[in-house]
Amino acid sequence: MAGDWWMIVPGNTALSALVLVLILIPFLYAGRKPMHGVIMSLARAISVPLRMAARWLMLTANALQQRNKTVLIAHGREEVTQAIDREFSRVSALVQRDLRGYPALQRKIMDEITRVEEDYQKCGEVPPPTPEWTKAIETIAGIKPSGDGLVEKLLEEIARSMTKIYDKALNEYRKSYEERHNILKGFMPFWRSLDQSVGRVDKNLNGLQETAAKIDSQMDKYKEIVAETEKAEQALTASASIQFAIASLVLFIAFGGAFVNFKLISLPMSEMVGGGDYITENLQASDIAALVIIFVEATMGLFLMESLRVTHLFPRINNMNDRMRYRMVWISFTILFILAGVEVALALMRDHIVAASLSLKQALGSTKAAAVVETGLVTKIPTAGQMILGFILPFALAFVAIPLEYFIYSARTVFGVLLVLAIRALAFGFRALGGVIKQAGKTVVMLYDVLVFIPLLIERAVRGGKLHSAGGDSHGSGITSFSKRRRATGDHVL
């Protein structure tokens, strides 16, 4: 048979294989060293480039990580600088708005305090001076009763006069107390005004302290960023990751709004550009026209945000002078407003198209249209809702520029970190594969020695005998030389 050509003993595969191995063993033993060299050379030829590739990938990952750090630090420095500028602008506005009138407020407070002090001094109780006639009364009171009627009458007149004078003095004293109480009652508006003025000053000072604390924290963050500390890098990376997640979520929501807008205007656009025109097998020209309108709305919204300096994706727009920038604001807003009006008209047209299509289907189905098609307020509500959506969605898409900017800047950091991890993982894989191939070459060498283990045993036994005899001769010669050196040393000493 064709498959038995290698069999030395026909009909006996095991014996033939054994005889063939015994024949090949001398040849394998003779080519042992060259085969070892070939196997190890092949292993090195594969493992060394893999290790070199792993080293190059690690260097590339380190360079990319340093580049990512530079970009991240620069972007973080820019954001913190803008935040500090914004806080200083707030402080300036606060000083100009609230503390600009502080001298007048201080003068008002001092005037009110002076007025309160003067009124308080007026409220002081001044005891009335002792009248001079009291001394005469004391002298008259010292007269002893003598039973004279004239004297008694005179004393009665004096008592009556004293009562009148006492009542008059008491009334005047009460009147003065009432005037002081009125003065104290008049303190209330001044006290309230003074309290409000002091409260306003305290509120302004607290606002300045809070803003100063924010500026201090921002300055600390700025110092860490300038120093390029690991803490600042980790904080900026975490912030970029959070911004990337939030921006992705907002863009996903905006994509849903754009999809609703597309469904709202795609049907009426088929009536405007022709519903039977196909660009490809499944892509109509009306769909392309609806997408173009949505993209133009998003572009105008982006230009509007750039002109208002809300976003900074296009430095040329941000660097325009104020006159050209205001013109661009009005142009972008006008185009966006016109497109919103066009979508309102398309939404109304869509409602009419749907109503006409429903009437046609009912007519073809031999159904009374009047019994099914409703009129009145129920049909106007969806139409109004579609018109409102058609007007609001373009302006809502205009704000997509804000999360888009955050997505672009944060994606640079997030994708850079992921790319560094991927490159390092690939470098680790190459290095591990190189090590595996190197060990595989050693394993193949050992397996090769297993095939020729009988000649190797013989070789080891022969070498062992030679080494033993050579060791004995060298031992005897060593003793002889030692004796000679001892005799020479002894003779020299003697």
pLDDT in tens, 60-109: 999 988 888 888 888 888 878 877 777 777 777 766 666 666 666 667 66
3-class secondary structure for 419-472? HHHHHHHHHHHHHHHHHHHHHHHHHHHHHHHHHCHHHHHHHHHHHHHHHHHHHH
Give the three-state DSSP class for 141: helix
- Would you place residue 373 in the very low, low, confident or very high pLDDT band (cuts 50, 70, 90)? very low
* pTM more than 0.85: no
Name residue 284's beta-bridge partners. Answer: 278
Mean pLDDT of 419-428: 93
Question: How far, in whole angstroms, is CA 244 from its chain's centroid?
Answer: 7
Q: 278 — alpha (psi -120 to 50), left (phi > 0) or beta?
A: beta
Q: Which residue has the higher pLDDT, 184 or 297?
A: 297
* Domain residue limits, the chain: 15-71+409-468, 84-227, 243-399
Mean pLDDT of 216-244: 80
Name residue 278's beta-bridge partners. Answer: 284
Q: What is the pLDDT of residues 256-312, one digit of tens each?
A: 888 888 888 877 777 776 656 666 666 777 788 888 888 998 899 999 998 888 888
CA neighbor of 285 nearest in space, from 296, 297, 270 = 270
Highest mean pLDDT among 20-29, 141-150, 267-276: 20-29
Q: What is the pLDDT of residue 58?
A: 93
Q: What is the pLDDT of residue 423?
A: 93
Percent of the chain scored above 70 by pLDDT? Answer: 65
Mean pLDDT of 184-189: 62
| Structure tokens, 317 | 């727009």
Beta carbons within 10 angstroms of residue 293's beta carbon: 20
Residue 459 has pLDDT above 50, yes or no: yes
